[in-house]
Structure 1
Amino acid sequence: MSDPADSGEPASLTEQEARERAALLEVERYDVRVDLRDLLEGERWQASSTITFTCRTPGASSFVDVVGEVTAARLNDVELDLSTHGRGRLPLPDLAADNVLVVDSVQADTGSGNAILRSVDPQDGLVYVWSSFEPDGARRAWACFDQPDLKAVHGFQVSAPSAWTVLSNTSPDVVLDREDGGRLWNFEDTPRLSTYVVVVNAGPFHEQREEHGDHDLGLYCRQSLRTYLERDAEEIFRITAQGLAFFGEQFARPFPQRRYDHVFVPDFGGAMENWGCVTCSDSELYRSPPTYAERAWRALLILHEMAHQWFGDLVTMRWWDDVWLNEAFASFASAWASVGATEFTDAWAAFLAQEELPAYQLDAGPATHPIRGQVSDESHAFASFDAITYYKGQAVLRQLMALVGEETFVEALRHYFADHAWANATLDDLMGAVGAASGRDLTGWTTAWLDQAGTDTLSLIGGTLLASSPDGGEPRPHALRIGSYERTDDGLRQVALTDVETSGTTTRLDLPVADLHLVNDGDLTFASVRTDERSLEVLLSTAASLPDPVDRALAVCTAWDLLYRGELSTGDFLDCVLAVLATEPSPGVVQPFFELALDAAEQWSPAVLVPRRLARLADVAAARAQEPDHRTAALQTLAAAASSAEHFELLDAAAADDHDLAWRVQVRRASLGRYDAAAVADLLERDPDPDAQVRAWGVEAARPTEEAKAEAWERVWRERAVPAGLPQIGFARAFWRPAQHELLLPWAHRYLDELTDLSGGLLSVLSQVRIMRPRTCDEEWLARAEELTRSEELTPVVRTSLVATVDTLTRVLGARS
């Protein structure tokens, strides 16, 4: 058998190797037998993969991907030399025209989250196992040709402990008791899928199922979260059914499989679009009744992964240079479906306030990059997997739909899915379909928007709209609107809406006389906007009276963009956002506005002004907490900013039956040096959340002591005891209290030390690096971090994240001074 200790780090498949292998081979099917029974108490995931494939040049050689211990391998009934297995590759010599390869393998790395995670629930000791394979994790589970353009039918047989439910992409057609223990689950064949979107999840799940239209919908979670799933199941089923109906109609192609499952699993940093069996972080099962914004976010997550069933699973990118398109399209489609099919009709306003704004920030600094780029090998697939990939890409697709019209865009998508179903496609295929449907040559548009980094600036000066590119070159073409508003006793009233399609640097306009000309009204294009001085004054002072939530979000985000670029003071930004927050009716933007205001008050403000500004924010939050639609979001903000006895009195009353709020209040008290061990112990005893211990650790981490920070650091970086997703986000926010600047500086430097010695799966590494990034620093840290970004010590993903962090903290220090 092969010796994994001698195999070295797995090699990363290059684009050239993938092209050569795809030109040589065609995979017909995988028959994969997986044995999970050892995972009940041990660590071994065992698999036997039978691959049926053809070779276009008989006699040629290739290789199959398999990471782990290979115990046996036979090609066309001939035993292969296992000593040749190394760096995750097993050579395949002298291929026939028709081939059958059988590889038996064992994966013992099931505790790091590297494609597979065995997780033990801390509350009841039950064991759950999940898998997630993007970009090249399937090779860690079984032997395969692990690249997106070698799609094949998959047939799974899974042996598991008798008490476990096994979930995969399709329905189980037979479940049998095994004579040697456990049960055997045999699943229906999948359609032709790429290796990265197949899945095996297992454990003693709580299950709920409902029939909706032509689909059988399933929800699964660990037993200890049953109460939370049952509370939210009706809404999750409803959103799922609405999404399947919307996409089926828009794409003229209903989801072809009756079964569609969501599996909520522990310690998972996000969600994964496995065909028919979406895996999600179980932190999305909120432990307290979720706010509107939390419900809206979960709806977007459901719709994002659902859109991938068409754009990603049905039609798959040929190589990872188009991964941005997969993600941008799914993000675009989730907001589109949310507005068109669900109750969350303010999704575009929430997108601007919560997701598009980080893309503007990233695009303004040295971490900017074109939306699409060359991916030399799979290790670089997600090097730029960030807000530009997802959210600038999403905004650009919305700009494309604005340019050609929604009806034309939908027609193009229908042709695209019809022409490339169960195959692979490229950006050129999509743009060709849109160009044909619209009668436009989109070659120049594609290059301008996707191959140029940075954000254009659109400046209204008199009757002229000036467009400028960040590199001084030709600006992109923009399709947008300019809203003209006049002041009335009831606020701002729109008097005109002017459609504009720019070309070049200068566009002459015929605008009416107005108090405010709002550039990019409706947020149809991705651009940093500037208006005339009088309009800006009106915008900042009366943003709350704009009639549409998208435009109120545009006003606040424009103010933040000015702050981020050093053109507006933190105090002026707070004046604007707090005035909007005092009256904002749309719950989809209230919560992200509160988060922006909190960041401005505690991170972007000089230390001497932080208490006063937090008190202002707390007063606004306390007032909004009296309104049912905004109560929870306001109380959460108040818990972070509470500054007076009255604030804490209000919070204590509200937290009596709200465990989530109670933990937030304890974090605030601890950060102020008022840690109450007895209150934390009492809350830990009362809270039924199986992850409540992590909340208690967060309270301890907020204490302004060296011992508290050291203990928290060990839990995150050494023990890996803080689960990915929302638990880690809350823990990081408790740890990095900007007001504890002097205490935290050494830990900011420790963060840099950690970056050179990371291990684990892509999702867990990305989560840890981004979520645990410092929120305060000094000039010495900036210099050291910049030097580290120029070294060869960091992986591409980590380097990109650090570059963005350095840029943001440089701007923060500038704003503070």
Structure 2
Amino acid sequence: MTTPSLTQAEAERRAALLRVQGYDIAVDLTDLPTGPQVRCVSTMTFTCTEPGAETFVDCAAAVVAATLNGAPLPPAAHGRITLPDLAAHNTLRVQTVQEHTSDGPGVHRAVDPADGEVYVWTTFEPDEARYVWACFDQPDLKAPHAFTVTAPATWTVLSNTGDPRVEDLGAARRWTFPPTPALSPYNTVVNAGPLHELRRTVGGHDLGLYARRSLAAVLDRDADEIFTVTGQGLAFFADAFAMPFPQRKYDQVFMPEFGGAMENYGCVTWSDSWLRRVTPTPAERESLACVLLHEMAHMWFGNIVTMRWWDDLWLNEAFAEFACYWAATGATRYTDAWAGLLAGEKLAAYLADQGPTSHPIRQPVRDVAEAASIFDDITYPKGAAVLRQLMTYVGEAAFTAGMRAYFARHAWGNTTLQDLIDALAAASGRDLGPWRTGWLETAGTDRLTLDRDGDAPVLAARGPEGPPRPQVLAVGAYRRGPAGLERTALAEVEVRGPRTPVGLPSGADLYLVNDDDLTFATTRPDPAGRAALLAAAAQLPTAVSRGVAVATVWDMLTTGEADAAEAVRCLTAVLAVETSDAVIEPYLRLAMDAAEWWAPESRRAALTAEVAEVCARLAGQPGRRRVGLRGLARTVADLASVARLRDEANDDVDLRWRALIRAAALGGDTAREAESLLARDPDPDARFRALAVRAATPDAGEKEAVWQELAVRRSVPIGSVPAVTTAFWQPGQDGLLTPYAQKYLALLPEMHRGGMVPAMFYAHRLFPMVGVGTEFLPRARAAAAHAAPVVRKTLLQRADEVGRMLRARS
């Protein structure tokens, strides 16, 4: 059934016509232990400003019956039910059945392979609630939602609010939840199954953690850390926004086969791949903390105050991404979180913002299908960096005051960008019109360099369309001392034009532009300083200053101004001295990527060996042993080295799988050992690690079998897709992998099935990395023109990155 995407014009007309007073939604999950059906009855009460007018309600599930004010309605067509002759006060009742619960959007039934138990979750952003029950599925028709859920008697049911009334019905139980505050349909949730539960009271909040029973031991292991960060985050945001989270209950539910995490009000759903099956590394712990704080920030920015339409999606995502790092550095032990952002996601944003899919942070969004395509590196990490620049530009005190005023004025309502700008302008006394135009409505990246005016340093800046954006940043002056480079002075510079004097003394050994990483701009050394920058990165004194230098070198690699050998040597030098665990793993990944994907084939082995040497040194440091050994599992060059690595693994099952994948890629016979390891691995998803071993094998039959599982049948949970695809696209297996370029293109017309998150995952992860030349990229771009917007956007961005790699290799 074709379900047209809601347009902005349609949403505006409907919002002008209707005021939704409330939803009563009855959900029946009792078929799910053995069957596919979710049955719902959605009852909506709403008023109409023009009695006699006509509109529609969104409903992409199969409709059993529908009545408006007691009168039956005609059948649904194209995901909509027409509502004719509206009264001033209306009651709409729609009974639905959704059977597509294994591969459809909105609701998902997952079976745990460990014990056969069934779990079900919903996730609705941007407009997928309509696939489960009838609703007015747009963000500015907010209303209280009252859920009544009937589920098997052994299940726990969770929704947005706490303290449900539970009735025993024999083989089933009925859970009646108190109404929510006024929420958009996409902010609501139902999670259910025979869940393992942990609860703790922290700071006056009743915190809950849940996971499938087969992961109970893993959740128990990580619970203290998760409860601690949750409590710290709730306290930080309550103070920052002068508004405590307004309900006592705050649950976090780790569910199988879920993608990422979703900020449902009071009940965040996570992929349970975030529960690492072995003790997490420092970077993995920090990543979980930042995602936790990102979803928590949405309780205010997205749930309590919601954007009116998806052109202000950045008000949700960019703000939450900024706020998670703000909170991590200000309230948790992860004080190097900004350095972690720079080492990972911000580099991806620089690449995206200089490619064919660059767009303004805020842009017109014609319909919801277009909105789904902008959950990307511009909206998230660039948006986060730009908001940090805004806080720098107006000052943190004024920024905080403006946010407090914004929430006080707009709580439980909908806003536009101008509402935020007005609040921050009033608090800071600054005219933010030029800032808004430059940063939020203009695509592309500024370029900053340092020139000399005589002996005095001058900052040269240009924007993507000529003049630079208004911004405040820092330039550091460094001199070489016994321990390396020492910062002798730091100048705050407000950029108002192409050239700005920098109040720093002349004669420094190095001037670092964008020191402390306060703005979003690429930097370049002057021609005479290029070699000095490459050599100086490892000598800089802080994680962020080293990160700024690394970011410059990496950007030079992606634009053809540096080669893979220079990038690898810069990164390995930094890794040899790096003190921050937040960036060790991101830098290792960059170094390995540079050696494997950006280097010419003739240099690949030598550069990979250089990275392996760094991994071996890290493996000798007690706090970084696991990180170093994991790096060796990707970089060792022969089966004898893999055998030694397996000896090092002892009872580290994760490392054994990684070593097996490397052995398979090198042509080793791994089938028997994989079978043995699978039999003793307690991870309920271990079979997908075994599939990754097969994926790495240089055998045409195994490649085809894995492709069928991964890409055609989609039997691999989203959380396991990266491991399998990384193993599949092995450098050097070009002959085996060449056919998969055409196979990828053949998948494009249906790649969007299952909703936004699977569409992004598969379009990105299945994109051919090996066995393609420059002739494939125009074919991929041409095919993208006929794909769904979210698939098209992801493909074009990936094609641009692979094209840059191919140019670097040549």
Q: Normalized against structure 2, the TM-score is what?
A: 0.98
Contact residue 638 and residue 666 of structure 2 kept, 8 A: no
Aligned to 1:38: 31
* TM-aligned CA deviation for residue 644 of structure 1: 5.1
Report matched runs for 1:765-804 at 5 Å.
765-776=759-770, 777-789=772-784, 791=785, 793-804=786-797
Q: Deviations over 1:246-293 (max 9, x none)?
A: 101111100011110001011111111000000000000001111000
Answering whether residue 474 of structure 2 is matched by residue 481 of structure 1, we say yes
Report matched runs for 1:268-347 at 5 Å.
268-347=258-337
Answering whether residue 610 of structure 2 is matched by residue 620 of structure 1, we say no
Letter in 2 for 1:752: L
Residue of structure 2 aligned with 1:595, choices 589, 600, 607 = 589
Aligned to 2:228: 238
Letter in 1 for 2:443: A
Contact residue 448 and residue 521 of structure 2 kept, 8 A: yes
Contact residue 675 and residue 703 of structure 1 kept, 8 A: no
Question: Closer, same or farther in 2 for the Cα pair 1:646/1:487, shift >3 Å?
Answer: farther
Structure-1 separation of matches of 2:288 and 2:565: 33
Answering whether residue 142 of structure 2 is matched by residue 148 of structure 1, we say no
Q: Deviations over 1:699-754 (max 9, x none)?
A: 000011211210110011222111102x1111110001122123222212321221
Structure-1 separation of matches of 2:461 and 2:341: 24
% of aligned pairs identical?
51
Structure-2 separation of matches of 1:125 and 1:649: 35
Structure-2 separation of matches of 1:325 and 1:217: 27
Aligned to 1:657: 651
Report matched runs for 1:421-440 at 5 Å.
421-440=411-430
* TM-aligned CA deviation for residue 89 of structure 1: 0.9
Answering whether residue 797 of structure 2 is matched by residue 807 of structure 1, we say no
Aligned to 2:365: 375
* 3-state DSSP of counterpart to 1:176: strand
Residue of structure 2 aligned with 1:14, choices 3, 7, 16 = 7
* TM-aligned CA deviation for residue 574 of structure 1: 1.1
Structure-2 separation of matches of 1:81 and 1:620: 68
Contact residue 516 and residue 534 of structure 1 kept, 8 A: no
Structure-2 separation of matches of 1:649 and 1:760: 41
Q: Deviations over 1:225-249 (max 9, x none)?
A: 1111111011011111110011011
Aligned to 1:738: 731
Contact residue 230 and residue 293 of structure 2 kept, 8 A: yes
Aligned to 2:74: 81
Answering whether residue 217 of structure 2 is matched by residue 227 of structure 1, we say yes
Residue of structure 2 aligned with 1:682, choices 676, 681, 694 = 676
* TM-aligned CA deviation for residue 424 of structure 1: 0.3
CA RMSD of aligned residues (A): 1.2
Aligned to 2:625: 631
Larger displacement relative to structure 2 (461-470 or 715-724): 461-470
Report matched runs for 1:703-742 at 5 Å.
703-725=697-719, 727-742=720-735
Structure-2 separation of matches of 1:10 and 1:786: 25
Answering whether residue 126 of structure 2 is matched by residue 135 of structure 1, we say yes
Contact residue 602 and residue 739 of structure 1 kept, 8 A: no
Contact residue 618 and residue 647 of structure 1 kept, 8 A: no
Structure-1 separation of matches of 2:106 and 2:198: 26
* 3-state DSSP of counterpart to 2:807: helix
* 3-state DSSP of counterpart to 1:521: coil
* 3-state DSSP of counterpart to 1:343: coil
Structure-2 separation of matches of 1:492 and 1:182: 68
Structure-2 separation of matches of 1:173 and 1:609: 62
* 3-state DSSP of counterpart to 2:550: helix
Report matched runs for 1:560-579 at 5 Å.
560-579=554-573
Unaligned regions of 5+ residues in structure 2, if any?
A: none
Structure-1 separation of matches of 2:333 and 2:458: 39
Q: Deviations over 1:597-630 (max 9, x none)?
A: 0000111111122111111111110111111222
Structure-2 separation of matches of 1:239 and 1:224: 24
Aligned to 1:171: 162
Letter in 2 for 1:75: L
* TM-aligned CA deviation for residue 809 of structure 1: 1.3
Letter in 1 for 2:629: L
Structure-2 separation of matches of 1:45 and 1:644: 52
Letter in 2 for 1:110: T
* TM-aligned CA deviation for residue 649 of structure 1: 5.1
Answering whether residue 190 of structure 2 is matched by residue 197 of structure 1, we say no
Q: Normalized against structure 1, the TM-score is what?
A: 0.97
Q: Deviations over 1:460-509 (max 9, x none)?
A: 111221112234x2221121000010111210011110110111211123
Larger displacement relative to structure 2 (567-576 or 312-321): 567-576
Structure-2 separation of matches of 1:670 and 1:199: 42
Aligned to 2:110: 119
Larger displacement relative to structure 2 (104-113 or 518-527): 104-113
Structure-2 separation of matches of 1:755 and 1:79: 40
Letter in 2 for 1:397: L
How many pairs does the alignment contain? 803
* TM-aligned CA deviation for residue 77 of structure 1: 1.8
Aligned to 2:43: 50
Contact residue 622 and residue 647 of structure 1 kept, 8 A: no
* TM-aligned CA deviation for residue 113 of structure 1: 4.3
Contact residue 745 and residue 778 of structure 1 kept, 8 A: no
Unaligned regions of 5+ residues in structure 1, if any?
A: 1-7
Residue of structure 2 aligned with 1:216, choices 188, 202, 206 = 206
Question: Closer, same or farther in 2 for the Cα pair 1:813/1:81, shift >3 Å?
Answer: closer
Q: Deviations over 1:303-357 (max 9, x none)?
A: 0000000000000000011112210000000000000111111000000001100
Contact residue 515 and residue 535 of structure 1 kept, 8 A: no
* TM-aligned CA deviation for residue 650 of structure 1: 4.7
